[in-house]
Structure 1
Amino acid sequence: MATKEGEYMNMRTIKTLIVALSMIMLLSGCWDTKDINKQYLPVVMGVGKGKTEKYRIVLQIPDASGKTQILDKEAKSISKAIDLIRTDSEKSIELVHLRLMLIDRKVAEQGIENIIDFAVRANDISIKGLVAVIDGDFEKTMYHQISPTPEISSYDFFSQDAGWTPNQSIVRIWEAYQNENSYTEDMAIPMLKNGVRTLFTFRGTAVMRNDRMVGTLNQEETLLFNLFKGKYSGGTIEVAQNTSVLIQDAKIKHRTQWSEKGPSIQTDITLDVVITESPEGKGNAVIEKEMKEQLSRQFNQTVRKIHSLKSDVLGIGMIFRPKMSEKQLKEWKTEWFPKLEQDINVRVNVLNEIYFKENANDNKSQGKMLKK
Structure 2
Amino acid sequence: MKRRIIPRLLLAFCLPCLLSGCWDIKDINKRYLPVVMGICDGKTETYHVTLQVPTVTGTTQILEQEAKSISKALDLIRTKSEKHVDLLHLRLILISEKMAEKGIDDIIDYAIRADDISIKGMVAIVTGDFQKALHHQVGPTPEVSSYDYFSEEAGWTPNVSLVRLWEAYKVSRSYTQDTAIPLVEAGTDTLYEFRGSAIMRNSKMVGTLTPDETLINNIFSEKYTGGTIETAEDASILIKKATVRHRIKWGDSGPQLNSKLHLDIEVSENKQGLSNQEITEEIKTSIEKRGANIIDKLHTLKADVLGIGQLFKPKMTVAQLKEWKERWYPKLQSKIEVEINIRNNIYLKDKLRENNLRM
> 5+ unaligned residues in a row in structure 1: which ranges?
367-372
1:161 to 153, 169, 175: 153
| Cα distance in 2 between the residues matched to 1:247 and 1:301 | 21
| Cα distance in 1 between the residues matched to 2:159 and 2:288 | 18
Q: Secondary structure at 1:59's aligned position in 2?
A: strand
1:90 to 82, 87, 91: 82
The superposition leaves residues 190-227 of structure 1 with CA deviations (integer Å, 9 ceiling, x where unpaired) of: 01011111111111000000110000001111111112
- In the superposition, relative to structure 1, how do residues 268 and 231 fare at CA in structure 2: closer, same or farther (>3 Å)? same
Report if the CA contact (8 A) 2:122-2:162 is conserved: yes
Report if the CA contact (8 A) 1:274-1:353 is conserved: yes
Q: Offset at 1:92?
A: 1.1
Report if the CA contact (8 A) 1:232-1:247 is conserved: no
Between 1:272-281 and 1:203-212, the stretch displaced more is 272-281
Q: Offset at 1:302?
A: 1.1
Matched, 1:252 2:244: yes
1:54 to 10, 26, 46: 46
2:221 corresponds in structure 1 to: 229
Report if the CA contact (8 A) 1:236-1:244 is conserved: no
2:58 to 47, 66, 70: 66
Q: If you compute each CA radius of gyration, which structure gives the higher value, 1 or 2?
A: 1
Q: Offset at 1:361?
A: 8.1
1:330 to 316, 322, 325: 322
1:277 to 269, 282, 287: 269
Q: Secondary structure at 2:341's aligned position in 1?
A: strand
| Cα distance in 1 between the residues matched to 2:198 and 2:63 | 27
Matched, 1:136 2:167: no
Matched, 1:315 2:302: no
Task: Please tell me the residue identity of whatever aligns with 2:83.
Answer: K
2:93 corresponds in structure 1 to: 101
Q: Offset at 1:46?
A: 0.1
Report if the CA contact (8 A) 2:97-2:125 is conserved: yes
Q: Offset at 1:234?
A: 3.1
Task: Please tell me the residue identity of whatever aligns with 2:41.
Answer: K
| Cα distance in 1 between the residues matched to 2:15 and 2:321 | 54
Report if the CA contact (8 A) 2:182-2:196 is conserved: yes
Q: Secondary structure at 1:96's aligned position in 2?
A: helix
**1:188-267 correspondence runs (5 A):** 188-267=180-259
2:142 to 142, 150, 172: 150
Report if the CA contact (8 A) 2:269-2:347 is conserved: no
TM-score, normalization by structure 1: 0.91
Between 1:253-262 and 1:226-235, the stretch displaced more is 226-235
| Cα distance in 2 between the residues matched to 1:279 and 1:230 | 32
1:369 corresponds in structure 2 to: none
Report if the CA contact (8 A) 1:205-1:222 is conserved: yes
The runs of at least 4 consecutive aligned structure 1 residues that moved more than 4 Å come to: none
1:288 to 280, 290, 299: 280
| Cα distance in 2 between the residues matched to 1:164 and 1:233 | 10
1:20 corresponds in structure 2 to: 13
| Cα distance in 2 between the residues matched to 1:247 and 1:231 | 14
| Cα distance in 2 between the residues matched to 1:126 and 1:242 | 46
Q: Secondary structure at 1:21's aligned position in 2?
A: helix
Please give the root-mean-square deviation of Cα atoms over the aligned residues, in Å.
Answer: 2.1
| Cα distance in 1 between the residues matched to 2:117 and 2:353 | 58
| Cα distance in 1 between the residues matched to 2:283 and 2:64 | 49
| Cα distance in 1 between the residues matched to 2:49 and 2:90 | 13
- In the superposition, relative to structure 1, how do residues 360 and 53 fare at CA in structure 2: closer, same or farther (>3 Å)? farther
TM-score, normalization by structure 2: 0.95
| Cα distance in 2 between the residues matched to 1:335 and 1:17 | 72
| Cα distance in 2 between the residues matched to 1:334 and 1:19 | 70
2:339 corresponds in structure 1 to: 347
> 5+ unaligned residues in a row in structure 2: which ranges?
none
Between 1:131-140 and 1:259-268, the stretch displaced more is 259-268
1:177 to 169, 184, 188: 169
Report if the CA contact (8 A) 1:166-1:232 is conserved: yes
- In the superposition, relative to structure 1, how do residues 324 and 20 fare at CA in structure 2: closer, same or farther (>3 Å)? farther
Report if the CA contact (8 A) 2:51-2:64 is conserved: yes
